[in-house]
Structure 1
Amino acid sequence: MLDQRVVKEKSKKSMVLLLMALPFVILVFMFNYVPLFGWIYAFFDYKPGIPLSSSPFVGLKFFELILHDGGDMARVLKNTIAMGLLGILCSPLPVIFAIMLNEVKHKYFRKIVQTAATFPNFISWVIVFSLSFSIFSSEGLFNQIMTSLGLIDKPANLLGNADAVWYFQTALLIWKSLGWTSVIYLAAITGIDAEIYEAGKMDGASRLKLIWHVTVPGIMPTFIVLLLLSVSNILTIGFDQYYAFKNPLVADNIEVLDLYVYRIGIATNDYSYATAIGIAKTFVGIVLLFSVNMFAKKVRGQSIV
Structure 2
Amino acid sequence: MKGNVYFRRYWQLYALLVLPLAYFIVFKYGPMWGVQIAFKDFNFFQGITGSEWIGFDAFREVFRMDDFYRTLRNTIVLNLLDLLVSFPAPLILAILLYEMKVVWFKKLSQTILYIPHFISWVIIGGIVYQVFGTQSGMINNVLTTLGFQAIPFLTDKNDWVLTYLLTGVWQSAGWGTILYLAALTGINRELFEAAEVDGAGRLKRIWYITIPGMKTTIATLLIINLGNMITIGFDRPYVIGNVAVRDYSDVLSTFVYRIGMESGQYTLATVVGLFQAVVGLIFVLGANYASKKLTDESIM
* TM-score band w.r.t. shorter chain: over 0.9
Q: Which has the larger displacement, 213-222 or 167-176?
A: 213-222
Q: Give the distance between the partners of 2:272 and 2:188, measured in 1 at CA.
A: 47
In the alignment, which residue of structure 2 is the partner of 1:95? 91
What amino acid maps onto 1:294 in structure 2? Y
1:52-87 superposed Cα distances (whole Å, 9 cap, x missing partner)? 454321011112223222x11111011101110011
Out of 211, 226, 237, the position equivalent to 1:216 is: 211
1:181-205 superposed Cα distances (whole Å, 9 cap, x missing partner)? 0111111111111111111111121
Q: Are positions 1:23 and 2:19 aligned together?
A: yes
Q: Give the distance between the partners of 2:109 and 2:256, measured in 1 at CA.
A: 38
In the alignment, which residue of structure 1 is the partner of 2:265? 270
What amino acid maps onto 2:27 in structure 1? F
Q: Give the distance between the partners of 2:8 and 2:49, measured in 1 at CA.
A: 48
Change (3 A) 1:183 1:13: farther
In the alignment, which residue of structure 2 is the partner of 1:245? 240
Q: Are the counterparts in 1 of residues 155 and 245 from structure 2 also a CA contact under 8 Å?
A: yes
Q: Give the distance between the partners of 1:51 and 1:29, measured in 2 at CA.
A: 22
In the alignment, which residue of structure 1 is the partner of 2:178? 183
In the alignment, which residue of structure 1 is the partner of 2:129? 133
Q: Are positions 1:285 and 2:280 aligned together?
A: yes
Q: Are the counterparts in 1 of residues 216 and 297 from structure 2 also a CA contact under 8 Å?
A: no
Q: Give the distance between the partners of 2:7 and 2:163, measured in 1 at CA.
A: 54
Q: Are positions 1:112 and 2:126 aligned together?
A: no
- 1:137-156 pair list within 5 angstroms: 137=133, 138-150=135-147, 152-153=148-149, 155-156=150-151
Q: Give the distance between the partners of 2:50 and 2:209, measured in 1 at CA.
A: 65
Q: CA deviation at 1:236?
A: 1.6
Out of 233, 236, 243, the position equivalent to 2:231 is: 236
Change (3 A) 1:302 1:206: closer
Q: CA deviation at 1:32?
A: 0.7
What amino acid maps onto 1:113 in structure 2? S
Q: Are the counterparts in 1 of residues 183 and 214 from structure 2 also a CA contact under 8 Å?
A: yes
Q: CA deviation at 1:228?
A: 2.1
Q: Give the distance between the partners of 1:296 and 1:185, measured in 2 at CA.
A: 18
Q: CA deviation at 1:178?
A: 0.6
Q: Give the distance between the partners of 1:14 and 1:148, measured in 2 at CA.
A: 69
1:228-284 superposed Cα distances (whole Å, 9 cap, x missing partner)? 221121112201112222321122211111111111111110001111111111110
Q: Are the counterparts in 2 of residues 39 and 275 from structure 1 also a CA contact under 8 Å?
A: yes
Q: Give the distance between the partners of 1:302 and 1:186, measured in 2 at CA.
A: 19
| Structure 1 unpaired stretches of 5+ | none
Q: Give the distance between the partners of 1:14 and 1:63, measured in 2 at CA.
A: 49
Runs of 4+ in 1 over 6 A off after TM superposition: none
Q: CA deviation at 1:41?
A: 0.9
In the alignment, which residue of structure 2 is the partner of 1:14? 10
What amino acid maps onto 2:173 in structure 1? L
In the alignment, which residue of structure 2 is the partner of 1:33? 29
Q: Are positions 1:254 and 2:249 aligned together?
A: yes
Q: CA deviation at 1:20?
A: 2.3
Q: CA deviation at 1:180?
A: 0.7
Q: CA deviation at 1:12?
A: 5.2
What amino acid maps onto 1:108 in structure 2? W
In the alignment, which residue of structure 2 is the partner of 1:168? 163
Q: Are positions 1:64 and 2:65 aligned together?
A: no
Q: Give the distance between the partners of 1:219 and 1:66, measured in 2 at CA.
A: 42
Q: Are the counterparts in 1 of residues 219 and 298 from structure 2 also a CA contact under 8 Å?
A: no
Give the structure-2-normalised TM-score: 0.93
Give the structure-1-normalised TM-score: 0.91
Q: Are positions 1:202 and 2:197 aligned together?
A: yes
Identity %: 34
Q: CA deviation at 1:46?
A: 1.2
Q: Give the distance between the partners of 2:212 and 2:81, measured in 1 at CA.
A: 24
Q: Give the distance between the partners of 1:270 and 1:262, measured in 2 at CA.
A: 10
| Structure 2 unpaired stretches of 5+ | none
1:153-193 superposed Cα distances (whole Å, 9 cap, x missing partner)? 3x333222233322221111111001110111111111111
